[in-house]
Amino acid sequence: MNRATLLIHTADRRGLLAGISGFFTERQLNILECRQYTDTRTERYFMRIEADMAGMTRTRLETEFGALAKELGLEYSVYYSGERPNMAIMVSRASHCLYDLLINIEGGALNCKVPLIVSNHPELEVVAQRFRVPFYCFPIASPEAKLEQEKQVLEIFRKHNIDLIVLARYMQILSNDFISHYPGRIINIHHAFLPAFQGGNPYERAWEYGVKMIGATAHYATAELDEGPIIEQDVERITHESTPNDLKEIGRDIERRVLTRAVRAHLEHRVITSGRRTVVFSR
């Protein structure tokens, strides 16, 4: 089945559901799924609608829905079934998130292609080889060399037509210029329950504070460190007996599942960003 998925948001008002769903009904397009949410505090309306494209070309859909969007003041994006985006994975030395992503891609749970894995260290090349994914190492010899390294990475991403970048414990802060090339298309995993313990060594700081829960957060990368819109989070309880190493061990399991869930939500077009927040529709 040839499907189209539309993510829509606009100022809330009466008649939106009827107007949007009526567009598909009038063209005899079967609506397969429709989810909606109204944020009453900000008076914003959000919708995810999936329709069977039988008898409708992409050009016609985009032209005619574009006219409706202009009339109703809708912000929207449209995606089509059968498309497999190119996803680049960036890593440093930790392998747990990388393994989980690659296993889920191999098993079909994540609908994407991975043309390459990029790292600033060589250690994880062996993992890439096991999954037959090209591996590129771009070391950062000094802080002054970082911008040049990013230029090399961006160039290889352009060559491979990368649609989405996943920072699977890539332990470098990306420059604002790098992030500006992929707005809303870089997903990072932070090993803490944001907004607590931003920046480095969160497990050590969590232990120092004596917290009783630790977590992980997957979010879109923005110019502000660890401030991007949150896609997915999870936590585990700990006790006073837990050492910093225990926290890191427990945290690795949280990190991998949170990152994979966030990537899946993005690939399934279930995420709408609204300022600092996201609306994530369930499957």
What's 227's domain CATH number? 3.40.50.170
Is the same domain home to 27 and 167? no
Task: Round the average pLDDT of the chain to a whole number and report it.
Answer: 94
Contact 157, 173 (CB under 8 A): no
Residues 69, 23, single domain; the answer is: yes
**Domain edge (last residue) among 80, 101, 134:** 80
- Residues 51, 259, 139: CA angle, nearest 5 degrees: 120
Tokens standing for 69?
Answer: 């969007």
Q: Following DSSP, what letter does each residue of 196-224 receive, concatenated?
A: SS-SS-HHHHHHHHT-SEEEEEEEE--SS
Query: What per-residue confidence (pLDDT) applies to 45?
Result: 98
Residue 84: is its pLDDT beyond 90?
A: yes
Q: Tell me: do 74 and 130 sit in the same domain.
A: no
Encode pLDDT of 102-150 as tens digits.
Answer: 999 999 999 999 999 999 999 999 999 999 999 999 999 888 889 999 9
pLDDT at 188: 96
Residues acting as catalytic residues: 226
Statement to judge: residues 59 and 190 lie in one domain: no
The percentage of residues in the chain with a pLDDT greater than 90, rounded to a whole number, is 84
Same domain for 41 and 93?
A: no
Asked which of 6-20, 41-55, 216-230 is least confident by mean pLDDT, the reply is 216-230
Confidence of residue 224 (pLDDT cuts 50, 70, 90): confident
Q: Which tens digits make up the pLDDT trace of 25-42? A: 999 999 999 999 999 999
169 and 232 belong to one structural domain: yes
User: What CATH code is carried by the domain that includes residue 70?
Assistant: 3.30.70.260
Cβ atoms of 194 and 233 closer than 8 Å: yes
Same domain, 242 and 128: yes
* pTM of the predicted structure, to 2 decimals: 0.94
Out of 21, 46, 80, a domain closes at 80
Mean pLDDT of the 62-67 span = 97
Q: Does residue 118 contact residue 90 with C-beta atoms inside 8 Å?
A: yes
Q: 2, 5, 4, 12: which is closest to 274 by C-alpha?
A: 12
Using DSSP, how many helices (H) and how many strands (E) does the chain show? Answer: 8, 13
Query: Mean of the pLDDT values across residues 7-28?
Result: 96
Regarding whether 214 and 114 lie in a shared domain, the answer is: yes
Chain centre to alpha carbon of residue 79: 15
Residue span of the structural domain in which 270 resides = 87-280
- Structure tokens of 118? 């990029």
Q: Which of 92, 110, 93 is nearest to 101 (CA)?
A: 110
Answer whether residue 225 shows pLDDT above 90.
no
My answer on whether 164 and 232 are in the same domain is yes
Among 45, 60, 80, give the residue marking a domain's end: 80
pLDDT, one tens digit per residue, over 192-210 is: 887 777 777 888 888 888 9
DSSP H or E run through 44: strand 44-52
252 and 126 co-located in one domain: yes
166 plus 266 within the same structural domain: yes
- Report the domain count for the chain: 2
Instruction: Kindly report, residue by residue over 146-186, the tens digit of the pLDDT.
Output: 999 999 999 999 999 999 999 999 999 999 999 999 999 99
Domain match, 150 and 225 both: yes
The CA distance from 17 to 5, in Å, is 16
